[in-house]
Structure 1
């Protein structure tokens, strides 16, 4: 027998990526103060995001590597190449 009142109240919510304007609808329990009217006439709760998978550099493939050839790691290795730690 299933227990009453232990499951969260899931509903359709619109998440809006403010950096590029993309939006997606997903079921969520998040509480919101704003709502948005969609093209199909539905009015749904709205959550505004600064970034999502649509705009984050890791997911879009625009992420830049911090350390390239001759970067910080290579400089560190060159600087400390002659120093040999003493064994205890």
Structure 2
């Protein structure tokens, strides 16, 4: 591997603002903004819209929404089952 072509890999804080949750991990992502972490060190911070703390699948709040009558359209097309 050519060293000058690889992105820098280092510690980064990802912050989910909707859930008020942040976690420190290693990534190639970068940011100009920084945050002081619990260990007293300063790390780059990246704000994300959704994480495992706020995603409906992981929180158990997932729901099925029948938008535009997809089920009714399927039943009209292929006939009702049962």
* Partner residue, 2:10: 11
RMSD of aligned Cα (Å) = 2.0
More moved, 4-13 vs 51-60? 4-13
Structure (1 or 2) with the greater helix fraction? 2
Query: Greater Rg, structure 1 or structure 2?
Result: 1
Q: Which runs of 5+ in 2 are unaligned?
A: none
1:32 paired to 2:19: no
Give the deviation of 1:9 after TM superposition. Answer: 1.2
Over 2 Å off, 4+ runs? 2-8
Residue-by-residue CA offset, 1:30-49 (whole Å, 9 max, x unaligned): 12010000121010000011
Give the alignment's TM-score, normalised by structure 2.
0.76
Residue-by-residue CA offset, 1:2-39 (whole Å, 9 max, x unaligned): 64334321010000001011111111111201000012
Give the paired residue count: 75
Q: 2:12 touches 2:30 (CA, 8 Å); kept in 1? A: no
